[in-house]
Amino acid sequence: MMREFTGQKDMVRPAKTRVATAFITLNCFKANKRKLREMFTSSAWIKSKVLRLVDGERKPPTGYIYEAVDRAKKIIAASFKNKQEKYKEIFKIIDKRWNCQLHRPLHLAGYYLNPSLYYNNPDVEDDSEILGGLHSCIDKLALIEEVKSKIHLEIPLYRHAEGIFGTPFSKKMRATLAPGML
């Protein structure tokens, strides 16, 4: 959206030093102040799903936040033709904020347990970070060993969309209804 309002201009231009990068970036924001103000007051911004991702009451944001950051990083890398030297400074900024505030096992478990995200991404089962977050949450939140065992027995049913997870209604509602809203 920002590129649309600024005529496809990049706001962040990596330089040889962090200070220079910050200065150039601030200068770009200053030069595009009017256009950025138009963006933030536009109807497109008001309708933006990004704004509602964290602040919405319609669906719990936990899993969606992890997915959104992951997707944003993939888009950033692709916009720099996957040349890491061009976007590594941007990723450092994102990761610094992400790691100190939002990158928690609960977000990973929320991503895994969100059917609309889980069943649309076959790579989830091979992602040790996501699985580690899920198991960390199970260990923290299920205090009774018997409950932990029951949860672990249900995971294969969820993974393979069997039992209640495989009913036509459950499959239909994956993308329609947020987790826990039944």
Domain ranges of the chain: 1-47, 51-182
Could you report the per-residue pLDDT of 122-170, keeping only the tens digit for each?
A: 888 889 989 999 999 999 999 899 999 999 999 999 999 999 888 998 8
pLDDT classification of 28: cutoffs 50, 70, 90: confident
Q: Is the pLDDT of residue 20 over 90?
A: no
The more confidently predicted of residues 109 and 50 is 109
Instruction: Return the amino acid letter for 154.
Output: E
* Cβ atoms 115, 67 nearer than 8 A: no
Can you read off the two tokens belonging to residue 22? Answer: 């910050």
Q: Locate tokens 């209804």: which residue?
A: 177
The more confidently predicted of residues 12 and 105 is 105
* Cβ atoms 153, 163 nearer than 8 A: no
pTM over 0.75: no
Q: Is the pLDDT of residue 35 over 60?
A: yes
Q: Is the pLDDT of residue 39 over 60?
A: yes
Mapping DSSP onto H, E and C, the string for the chain reads: CHHHHCCCCCCCCCCCCHHHHHHHHHHHHHHCHHHHHHHHHCHHHHCCHHHHHHHCCCCCCHHHHHHHHHHHHHHHHHHCCCCHHHHHHHHHHHHHHHHHHHCCHHHHHHHHCCHHHHCCCHHHHHCHHHHHHHHHHHHHHCCCHHHHHHHHHHHHHHHCCCHHHHCHHHHHHCCCCCCCCC
Q: Write down the pLDDT at residue 16.
A: 75
